[in-house]
Amino acid sequence: MLRSTLSPLPESKNIFKSVRICAYSALPVFGKISSEPDEDGVHSMANTPTVRKRSSRVLHETAAGYAFIGPMFIGLLVFTIVPTILSAILSFSEWSFIAGIDKIKFVGFSNYAKLFDDDVFLLSMKNNLVLLIAVPIQIVVSLLIAVVVDRLVYFKSLFKVVFFLPYISSIVAVAIVFQLLFHPSYGPINSFLTAIGVDNPPKWLADIHYALPSVMIILIWIGIGFCLIVYLAALQSIPRDLYESADIDGAGAWTRFSRITFPLVSPTTFFLLVTGLISSFKSFDIIKVLTEGRPANSTSVITYYLYTTAFENLKTGYASSIAWLLFGCVLLITLVQLYGQKKWVNY
């Protein structure tokens, strides 16, 4: 299904072109018998002009190549590569970008050393690690939903859309809505809990102990749709006869899941785990809009601390060292992925 719609060769529209290709295809074949055809598709007899022509063609190809990738490459250079290098350099300095460039002072590794004595940073780092727990939960739940939705329900496409809605909604809007839903005294969630007899419902985002789990609930709610869609695609690619032969052998639902489905989607699980962990490390919007790290930094994360350090406290150098630590975490997960892919995944 996927292949056919996204196929770069939609048959119906290209009958015209294929006819032309047939007409031309004789020429290159003819040329290739002796050696490569030059630009006109006709083999040149004279030797020297060919060489000259070929080298000019190579030059031409190179020029074309750079022209095509040029805009992208220059863009990446200016907006990503140069900033990455600058960030590395700045992380060894004590400086604020509102001061002139001549005020910059290089301090070696002291920014990095300071990080490990910085309580807010350590707390943010810990919160990031706690938030990682949301990733496997989200994956397990979405795999369960995917298995059920894939073969066992009516209105499959409706469910796809419903579960996917949170993912396409903006995080700002989602965060604002959940602020109200979780409102400690008037929010519908606590009204409901009180109504069913819970005496002291948690204060959710206002409580030091419940704030981070509340964020986690929202992250899971947002992320399930994405995992579900990817899982559904993976389930489509499992050959049906595997299940049929399992049926003949009298395998129950659990055996079919644990012996066929689970091992065969393991590359997908691994992919979702890695991308999930990385994007969990990178989450910023939700914290900025939902809690701003409150209460008492109990929901602060690395990216949020980086933001306040850089743009509110204006410590450019120190913020850059946080940035590089964040980069390091992402890099570490990526490296584990490269290594783990070969080791743990059933292909």
Binding to another protein (CB under 8 A) within 193-252 occurs at 195, 221, 224-226, 229-230, 232-233
Q: What angle do CA 291, 129, 174 make, to 5 degrees?
A: 35
Measured CA to CA in angstroms, residue 310 lies from 60, 90, 297 at distances of 46, 12, 17
Site string for another protein, 156-175 (x = CB under 8 A): ---xxxxxxxx-xxxxxxx-
Cis before 202 (ω within 30):
no
Among 43, 53, 183, 256, binds another protein (CB under 8 A): 183
Write out the two tokens for 150: 């894939």
CA distance 79 to 73: 10
- Give the footprint of another protein on residues 74-93 (CB under 8 A): 75-76, 78-84, 86-87, 90
Task: Tell me the closest approach of the beta carbon of residue 129 to another protein, in angstroms.
Answer: 16
Closer Cβ to another protein, 48 or 250, answer by number: 250
- Residues in a beta bridge with 94: 105
Assess contact for 326 and 238: CB atoms under 8 A.
Answer: no
Q: Taking the alpha carbons of 305, 291, 287, 217 in that order, is the dihedral positive or negative?
A: positive
Which DSSP symbol is given to 93?
Answer: E
End-to-end CA distance of the chain: 22
Site string for another protein, 303-332 (x = CB under 8 A): x--xx--xx----x--xx--xx-xx--xx-
- Give the footprint of another protein on residues 249-278 (CB under 8 A): 268, 271-272, 275, 278
Task: Tell me the closest approach of the beta carbon of residue 234 to another protein, in angstroms.
Answer: 8
Backbone φ/ψ region at 153: left (φ over 0), alpha (ψ -120 to 50), beta: beta
2 phi, psi to nearest 5 deg: -60, -50
Site string for another protein, 102-141 (x = CB under 8 A): ----------------------------------------
Closer Cβ to another protein, 40 or 244, answer by number: 40
Site size for another protein (CB under 8 A):
113
- Give the footprint of another protein on residues 17-36 (CB under 8 A): 17, 20-21, 24-25, 27-28
Among 36, 52, 68, 105, binds another protein (CB under 8 A): 68
149 lies in the binding site for another protein (CB under 8 A): yes
